[in-house]
Amino acid sequence: MVILDLNIKTIDTDVLIIGGGTAGCFSALTIAENSNLQVVIVDKANIKRSGCLAAGVNALNAYIGKGETPESFVEYVKKDSEGVIREDLVYTIAKRLNKVTKKLEDLGLPILKDENGEYIQRGKRSIKINGENIKPILAEAIVDKDTINILNNVNIIDYLVESGEVKGAIGFSINENTIYEIYAKKTICATGGAAGLYKPNNPTFSKHKMWYSPFNTGAGYAMGIRGGAEMTSYEMRFIALRCKDTIAPTGTIAQGIKIVQVNSQGEEYVKKYGKPTTHIRLYATVMENLKGNGPCFLKTEGISSEEERELFKAYLNMAPAQTLKWLERNTGPLSKNVEIEGTEPYIVGGHTASGYWVDRDRKTTLQNLYAIGDVAGGSPKKYVTGCLAEGEIAAMSIIATIGDSEFDKLSEIEKNEKIDYISKFFHNDKSLYSIKDVEEAMQKAMDEYAGGISMAYRYNKTKLRIAAERIEELLSIADNLKANNLRQLLSIFEVIDRLYVCKVLIRHLEAREETRWRCYQENTDYPQKDNENWNKYVNSVYKDGKVQIIFRGLVGRDKIYEHTN
Ligand SMILES: Cc1cc2nc3c(=O)[nH]c(=O)nc-3n(C[C@H](O)[C@H](O)[C@H](O)COP(=O)(O)OP(=O)(O)OC[C@H]3O[C@@H](n4cnc5c(N)ncnc54)[C@H](O)[C@@H]3O)c2cc1C
């Protein structure tokens, strides 16, 4: 039997940032540039190439372009999201988008410019970049800061929380036998969204060829759920419309060179299904396939060789598999239309609205805890720059309010419970099931009963109840999994976190008794949008093992929502 002896290291700091990705790094930088506060930033990977930006991106998709304003940005997000967004949050982001873009350029990000020195726009709200190195650029900006201590390869598993107050977090190193207990006056959660909940597009060794970062496994959501934080809009899942098999973005082609979607008969089909919002473009594709009109394509045949070369380059910047596929098959978008498909659903607050329920400062409902980036809810279409904006907002709020706050330690009993919980997986008797068994059973249950790809994203109450039962069973099986090394321990916590996210997601899907966002939330018991009853947020709090649903009224652009109700 393998039992690892785990050492315990305790660290005290002013600010703890969990997740050194886009939002986390920028928040740390803002704090370092505007205060002397001590910051510890913890990442399960190495911040140089961690999270969504690991492979690079080729555009900044949230920017106030020529002729646009922060107000028009809010209107765009509201329309695209069928009216249910936190306008106040989107507005605070919109007002900062161009400022954080400039800061990113000053840090060294190459932004493409025209002959007048103006940024080249890819659309009204998107600009072109050479973003292969965007993550190393962000990481380099903070590595040498005296006030920032970076802990790479440490996986945080839970907050240190008592009576609704977050006192820090606990986790373990993936490389050394060490448990880290980190106390902080303020904690920021920036762990990104949740991938791997549903059965993915590709099987076996290609299963991680998915749209969202496969290493963002919903840890921040799960910690918040277990700690009793209010969550919002999990039912607004995100499903990406992508190039088939490579799961490379389609926007690079569709927006970059203005290309339309066609079905197998060459017909432009999206307009048959309504205004071409993000989710309608996906829904139209799913419907055409169901009607037997698939496969569907981006009509690239006949573009110029110059445009083809640009696409080869653009994909090398952020989804090299697509360029390699073309080259390997000796073809390209000029001679062959690009086939498209929907991915499995994700929970990601940077594209849709799922995540922590926060106020304008990005404070969560747990005391001393902030949430930023993809893990924070209410404000879809944040993308890279929106995440930076939220990092800045939380940082400035902390600097303004931290004052003389004291460290407040967890009681010995509570602390030891957490430490025992981490080590128990080494002591568990050999489980009948492997970690992979549990992961695949979860993904199958979610796919078949909670609206995955194989069900054309549809579900109903009866199916959701079955999904809920399966997830509950899997949670108890997961509790008995056996770890033989630190890698396996990490995988166990990743699957447990995803099961918690599934549990909350299923309740949210059940609670919204309408269909508001086609495919993202396709409830066959209530197949129509119902503005009269459902122009509201579905929120939840996890208490005593149950997900309790709370409904909240919409918050307008200039309204001040500060956790008062
Ligand atoms: C494939 C893809 C392409 C995209 N393309 C574009 C684009 O072209 N333009 C654009 O503007 N936006 C794009 N986006 C969106 C944008 O990249 C994200 O919204 C943004 O980067 C998310 O930032 P974040 O800080 O919330 O998460 P991330 O940057 O993913 O950071 C999360 C961090 O948390 C760490 N972490 C997770 N769990 C733990 C844990 N338990 N303990 C410790 N650390 C943990 C992770 O390792 C990671 O470093 C794209 C997203 C994806 C997935």
For every residue of 31-73, which 3-state class applies, written as one string?
Answer: HHHHCCCCEEEECCCCHHHCHHHCCCEEEECCCCCCCCCHHHH
Beta strands at 458-459 and 522-523: parallel, antiparallel or unpaired: parallel
pLDDT digits (tens, 9 = 90+) for 428-443: 988 899 999 999 999 9
- Residue 192 Cα to ligand 1 midpoint, Å, equals 5
**Between the CA atoms of 237, 100, 368 and 356, what dihedral angle is there, to the nearest 10 degrees?**
-10
Q: Residue 560's pLDDT is what?
A: 77
pLDDT digits (tens, 9 = 90+) for 16-44: 999 999 999 999 999 999 999 999 999 99
Residues whose beta carbon lies within 6 Å of some atom of ligand 1 = 18-24, 42-45, 50-53, 57-62, 155-156, 171, 190-192, 211-213, 215-216, 219, 350, 373-375, 382-384, 387
The band of 118, judged by pLDDT with boundaries at 50, 70 and 90, is very high
Residue 44 tokens read as 């399960």
Residue nearest atom 15 in ligand 1 by C-alpha distance: 383
Q: What does the pLDDT average to over 274-278? A: 89
C-alpha span between 188 and 13 (Å, rounded): 12
- Residue 215 Cα to ligand 1 midpoint, Å, equals 10
Q: Compute the mean pLDDT over every residue in the chain, rounded to the nearest whole number.
A: 95
Residue 385 has pLDDT above 70, yes or no: yes
HSE-CB at 135 with a 13 A cutoff on CA atoms is 19
Q: Residue 329's pLDDT is what?
A: 94
The band of 319, judged by pLDDT with boundaries at 50, 70 and 90, is confident
Q: Which of 40, 41, 47, 216 gets mutated to test ligand 1 (max ligand atoms within 8 A of its CB)?
A: 216
Residue nearest atom 23 in ligand 1 by C-alpha distance: 22
* CA angle in degrees (0–180, nearest 5) for 285-289-292: 140
Residue 63 has pLDDT above 90, yes or no: yes
Residue nearest atom 53 in ligand 1 by C-alpha distance: 212
Residue 1 has pLDDT above 60, yes or no: no
The band of 279, judged by pLDDT with boundaries at 50, 70 and 90, is very high
Q: List the beta strands (DSSP E) in 163-300.
A: 165-173, 178-189, 231-232, 241-243, 261-262, 296-298
Selection from 399, 405, 389, 375 nearest residue 39 by Cα? 399
Prediction pTM value? 0.96
Cβ 322 vs Cβ 243: under 8 Å: yes
Residue 209 has pLDDT above 90, yes or no: no
Residue nearest atom 14 in ligand 1 by C-alpha distance: 383
Q: Which of 109, 137, 191, 347 gets mutated to test ligand 1 (max ligand atoms within 8 A of its CB)?
A: 191
pLDDT digits (tens, 9 = 90+) for 327-350: 999 999 999 999 999 999 999 999
Q: Which of 100, 241, 384, 486 gets mutated to test ligand 1 (max ligand atoms within 8 A of its CB)?
A: 384
Tell me the percentage of the chain whose pLDDT exceeds 90: 87
Q: What does the pLDDT average to over 281-310? A: 95
Q: Residue 256's pLDDT is what?
A: 67
C-alpha span between 138 and 66 (Å, rounded): 26
Q: Residue 58's pLDDT is what?
A: 87
Tell me the percentage of the chain whose pLDDT exceeds 70: 99
C-alpha Rg value of the chain to the nearest Å: 23
Residue 326 has pLDDT above 90, yes or no: yes
